[in-house]
């Protein structure tokens, strides 16, 4: 923005002080920015309005730079003079500046600030400035893109809400935005689901009519995976038992020799136990019990030897090897127990699926070969196999669309990994990669040595920073490509075929390395501009208190469940509140009220998923959703503002936005030439509104949609404090009444836009 444009209240003051401190103390702008960021320098409210509205303590700079106290006032007055004679007096609505006891304080012209903000909003100047940021540039935001193998859960939904909110913001900022879902239909997970689904079809097992389609496939995927993993764990346990036998046979003669040399009872005890265990291995036995017995005897022996200041290395080595097996066995046992619990739970509800799949999945290696064959045939274009992959993926996607539509998310385009989007440039990518000097061929696998490439290309070195880029596998030895390889081809498709000027991929933090490898590969094969314009929107995972999610075990808190739970919770709180107020009869039709509860549930769901910085793990307790109801609080404030305006003007505000603006313009014209004295609550609203555009720009630059929610919450709090402390419609003073009414209208307009950006439903009454 130009120097004439207002950038936000606190930020403008920060810019003012940075300018003056730089000139007076000869400190670099970057250093001052660091001081502000780290809290060395702070802009705070003054304790007494007589000293100004906001100020900054100079003491940290005085002490840091060894300034003699006799010079403090001289330097302070220099800062005051610089500010008074700068453009910032007008730009930041500063009335006066004073130096007081080590502080530089500013007095804000709130009357002028109020009028400027109201004018820019009512005359659309603010919106025009924001629209110029995008300037019609074409942007693709790819988000959600979860594998079509189970219903969307709360972790996937965080991706969806972050992505859609950011896309909405970009539209608001004037970008030509298209939201895309990349259908990952070619990976092992989908092939595993297709395998299980085919087996059920062959056995004439059909979906029950009362279950949502994506939930049905999630059950199939989980049961197939559980059975397969359990079989693998049994194999691992069997292999451990064989290793146990080998260790016993290895140390048995060593122990016999030790006993013959030392003739100790403690060694005899070990030999007796080893003989006993060796015999029992040929009988029905508990592997865990046997290993516990022998390790206990060995530990006891070694403790005795330590007390007698002796060491028998062979016994210690024997125990170490057994402890290694025990540790592995414990891990296998715990994992198997978790799978078994999940399997029992699923089979109690879906016994037919379990019965069929348990019969079919007897040999894990055979199943893996079949799954690998399905993947190979699908990538090779086998029509018979493709029919099943498409059917499964489309069915699950239909469930996704239904769930996402509930929270106001609709995609402009679904790009299939197996379709043109994923395949069109795949051959070109592989050909160009094969000619790079950093390319390796190992057993027919195609690999880029990015460690070597980073030594010759600063772009790649800077991209990975302190991390090693590693070796990037693009094609397996069996000829199949990896999803990251297809990501490279898909990225080219987005820029070249879809004409994107900028691409944002909303992908979890787990994929940071892979996304850097994709960008590096694009750079190396000649798509350098595209690599620069491909942005990884990183977000962290969701952790639930008292619940461990695992799609492989069919254990997750689905988006559908979150919405339903929130709908119930907000309804119960509303009813409880009405009864507490002594109300017995509904003031709104039941159907309208139920619809309002659903909308509140949607707002709460989206607010929950927006509530945390994307780079931080989102942690919450699904049993206490009522503790995370910021969405409904925002809507209640929005509804309250409408109620005030409905009483004031006698029409429905949301249905008559233009009419409402006209009334606001009349109020503004009435106040324009008058001196307005604002109380503390009114000043807080004005300050918050003044930071609106700066907040949106910060979200855009930093990829942090949570700041929109934080800002909205702050605006709602300032508005609530206004009508809690001061009358609006019943205010006797004409200027004060119009001042507050105008604040209500402008706040309503901004809140409406904020809710639209965040994907909240707009509610008129409650």
The sign of the CA dihedral 15, 19, 25, 26 is positive
Q: Which helix (H) or strand (E) holds 193?
A: helix 188-202
Give residue 308's pLDDT: 67
Other CB atoms within a 10 A radius of the CB of residue 656 amount to 14
**Are residues 177 and 193 both part of a single domain?**
no
Express each pLDDT in 563-602 by its tens digit.
Answer: 999 999 999 999 998 899 888 888 888 899 999 999 999 9
Residue 675: which of 282, 52, 115, 59 has the closest Cα? 115
Last residue of a domain, one of 315, 350, 380: 380
- In-domain check, residue 524: yes
**Are residues 171 and 194 both part of a single domain?**
no
**Are residues 294 and 368 both part of a single domain?**
yes
**Are residues 634 and 749 both part of a single domain?**
yes
Number of folded domains that form the chain: 4
- In-domain check, residue 551: no
* Alpha carbons 475 and 430: distance in angstroms, whole number: 8
* Alpha carbons 420 and 422: distance in angstroms, whole number: 6
- In-domain check, residue 553: no
Helix, strand, coil share of the chain (percent; to 5): 65, 10, 25
* Alpha carbons 94 and 108: distance in angstroms, whole number: 5
Express each pLDDT in 526-560 by its tens digit.
Answer: 999 999 999 999 999 999 998 888 888 999 999 99
Bridge partners of residue 94, in order along the sequence: 108
CATH assignment at residue 486: 3.40.50.620
The radius of gyration computed from the CA coordinates of the chain, to the nearest angstrom, equals 34
Residue 478 and residue 446 in contact, taking contact as beta carbons nearer than 8 Å: no
Last residue of a domain, one of 108, 128, 153: 108
- Is 0.75 surpassed by the pTM of this model? yes
- In-domain check, residue 608: yes
- In-domain check, residue 588: yes
Domain assignment of residue 79, given as a range: 9-108
Give residue 1's pLDDT: 36
**Are residues 145 and 278 both part of a single domain?**
no
Residue 556 and residue 154 in contact, taking contact as beta carbons nearer than 8 Å: yes
* Alpha carbons 276 and 297: distance in angstroms, whole number: 13
Mark 490-513 as b/e (b = at least 16 C-beta within 10 Å). bbbbbbeeeebebbbbbbbeebeb
Last residue of a domain, one of 490, 512, 544: 544
Residue 463: which of 519, 530, 387 has the closest Cα? 519
**Are residues 222 and 302 both part of a single domain?**
yes
* Alpha carbons 228 and 559: distance in angstroms, whole number: 27
- In-domain check, residue 177: yes
How far is residue 187 from each of residues 83, 158, 480, 646, measured CA to CA in Å?
A: 62, 22, 10, 55
Give residue 306's pLDDT: 74
Instruction: Measure the N-to-C terminal CA separation of the chain; round to a whole number of Å.
Output: 40
Give residue 5's pLDDT: 52
Give residue 763's pLDDT: 94
Strands (E) across 127-270 are located at 138-142, 176-183
- In-domain check, residue 550: no
Give the chain's length. 766
CATH assignment at residue 22: 3.30.1360.70
Sheet holding 445-449, edge to edge: 439-442, 445-449, 471-475
Token pair in block for residue 511: 């994929």
* Alpha carbons 677 and 736: distance in angstroms, whole number: 8
Residue 675: which of 735, 744, 741 has the closest Cα? 735
Token pair in block for residue 421: 């989007």
**Are residues 696 and 735 both part of a single domain?**
yes
**Are residues 537 and 613 both part of a single domain?**
no
Token pair in block for residue 111: 């009357």
**Are residues 472 and 374 both part of a single domain?**
no
Give residue 262's pLDDT: 86
CB proximity list for 205: less than 8 A, separation 6 or greater: 352, 353, 356
For the chain, residues with pLDDT lower than 70 are 1-7, 307-311
**3-state SS class at 441:** strand
**Are residues 614 and 656 both part of a single domain?**
yes
**3-state SS class at 107:** strand
Residue 738: which of 641, 685, 672, 651 has the closest Cα? 672
Express each pLDDT in 55-100 by its tens digit.
Answer: 999 999 999 889 999 999 999 999 999 999 999 998 899 999 999 9
**3-state SS class at 505:** strand
Token pair in block for residue 463: 């991209």
**Are residues 262 and 217 both part of a single domain?**
yes
User: At which residue do the structure tokens 């949301």 appear?
Assistant: 654
**Are residues 225 and 175 both part of a single domain?**
no
Q: What is the CA 172 to chain-centroid distance, rounded?
A: 21
- In-domain check, residue 164: yes
């Amino acid at each position: 923005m130009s120097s004439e444009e207002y950038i936000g209240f606190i930020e403008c003051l920060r810019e003012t002080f940075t300018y003056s401190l730089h000139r007076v103390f000869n400190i670099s702008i970057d250093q001052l920015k660091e001081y502000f960021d780290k809290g060395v320098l702070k802009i705070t409210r003054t304790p007494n309005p007589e000293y100004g509205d906001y100020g900054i303590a100079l003491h940290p700079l005085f002490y840091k730079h060894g300034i003699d106290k006799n010079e403090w006032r001289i330097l302070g007055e220099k800062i005051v003079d610089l500010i008074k004679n700068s453009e910032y007096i007008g730009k930041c609505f500063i009335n006066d500046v004073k130096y007081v006891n080590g502080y530089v304080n500013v007095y804000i012209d709130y009357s002028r600030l109020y009028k400027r903000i109201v004018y820019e909003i009512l005359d659309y100047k603010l919106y025009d400035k924001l629209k110029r940021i995008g300037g019609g540039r074409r942007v693709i935001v790819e988000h959600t893109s979860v594998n079509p193998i189970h219903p969307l859960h709360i972790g996937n939904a965080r991706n969806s809400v972050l992505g859609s909110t950011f896309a909405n913001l970009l539209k608001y900022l004037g970008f030509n935005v298209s939201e895309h879902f990349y259908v990952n239909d070619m990976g092992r997970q989908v092939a595993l689901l297709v395998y299980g689904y085919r087996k059920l079809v062959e056995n004439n097992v059909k979906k029950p009519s009362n279950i949502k389609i994506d939930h049905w496939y999630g059950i199939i995927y989980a049961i197939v995976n559980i059975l397969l993993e359990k079989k693998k764990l049994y194999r691992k346990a069997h292999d451990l038992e064989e290793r146990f036998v080998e260790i016993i046979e290895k140390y048995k003669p060593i122990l016999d020799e030790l006993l013959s040399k030392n003739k100790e009872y403690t060694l005899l005890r070990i030999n007796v136990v080893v003989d006993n265990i060796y015999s029992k291995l040929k009988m029905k036995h508990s592997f865990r019990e046997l290993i516990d017995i022998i390790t206990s005897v060995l530990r006891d022996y070694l403790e005795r030897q330590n007390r007698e200041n002796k060491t028998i290395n062979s016994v210690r080595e024997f125990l170490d090897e057994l402890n290694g097996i025990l540790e592995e066995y414990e891990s296998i046992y715990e994992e198997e127990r978790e799978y078994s619990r999940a399997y029992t739970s699923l089979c109690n509800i879906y016994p037919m699926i379990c019965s069929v799949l348990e019969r079919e999945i007897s040999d894990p290696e055979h199943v893996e070969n079949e799954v690998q064959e399905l993947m190979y045939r699908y990538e090779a274009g086998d029509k018979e196999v493709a029919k099943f992959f498409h059917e499964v993926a489309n069915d699950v996607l239909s469930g996704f669309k239904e769930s996402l539509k509930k929270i106001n998310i609709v995609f402009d385009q679904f790009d299939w990994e197996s379709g043109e989007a994923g395949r069109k440039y795949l051959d070109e990518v592989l050909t160009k990669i094969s000619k790079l000097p950093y390319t390796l061929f190992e057993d027919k696998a195609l690999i880029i040595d990015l460690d070597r490439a980073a030594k010759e290309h600063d772009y790649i070195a800077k991209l990975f920073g302190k991390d090693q880029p590693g070796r990037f596998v693009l094609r397996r030895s069996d000829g199949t490509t990896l999803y990251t390889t297809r990501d490279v081809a898909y990225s080219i498709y987005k820029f070249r075929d879809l004409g994107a000027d900028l691409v944002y991929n909303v992908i979890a933090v787990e994929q940071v390395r892979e996304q850097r490898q994709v960008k590096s590969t694009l750079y190396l094969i000649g798509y350098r501009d595209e690599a620069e314009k491909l942005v990884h929107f990183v977000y962290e995972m969701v952790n639930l208190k008292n619940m461990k999610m695992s799609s492989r075990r069919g254990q997750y808190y689905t988006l559908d469940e979150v919405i339903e739970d929130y709908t119930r919770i907000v309804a119960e709180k509303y009813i409880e509140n009405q009864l507490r107020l002594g109300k017995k009869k509904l003031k709104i039709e039941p159907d309208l009220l139920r619809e309002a509860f659903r909308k509140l549930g949607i707002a709460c769901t989206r607010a929950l998923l927006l509530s945390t910085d994307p780079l931080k793990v989102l942690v919450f307790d699904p049993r206490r959703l009522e503790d995370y109801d910021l969405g409904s609080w925002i809507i209640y404030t929005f509804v309250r503002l409408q109620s005030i305006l409905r009483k004031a003007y006698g029409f429905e505000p949301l249905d008559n936005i233009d009419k409402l603006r006209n009334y606001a313009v009349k109020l503004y014209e009435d106040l324009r030439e008058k001196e307005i004295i604002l109380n503390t609550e009114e000043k807080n609203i004005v300050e918050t509104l003044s930071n609106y555009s700066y907040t949106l720009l910060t979200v855009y630059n930093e990829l942090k949609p949570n700041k929109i929610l934080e800002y909205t919450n702050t605006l709602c709090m300032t508005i609530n404090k206004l009508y809690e402390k001061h009358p609006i419609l019943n205010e006797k003073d004409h200027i004060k009444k119009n001042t507050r009414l105008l604040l209500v209208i402008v706040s309503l307009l901004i809140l409406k836009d904020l809710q639209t950006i965040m994907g909240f439903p707009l509610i008129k009454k409650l």
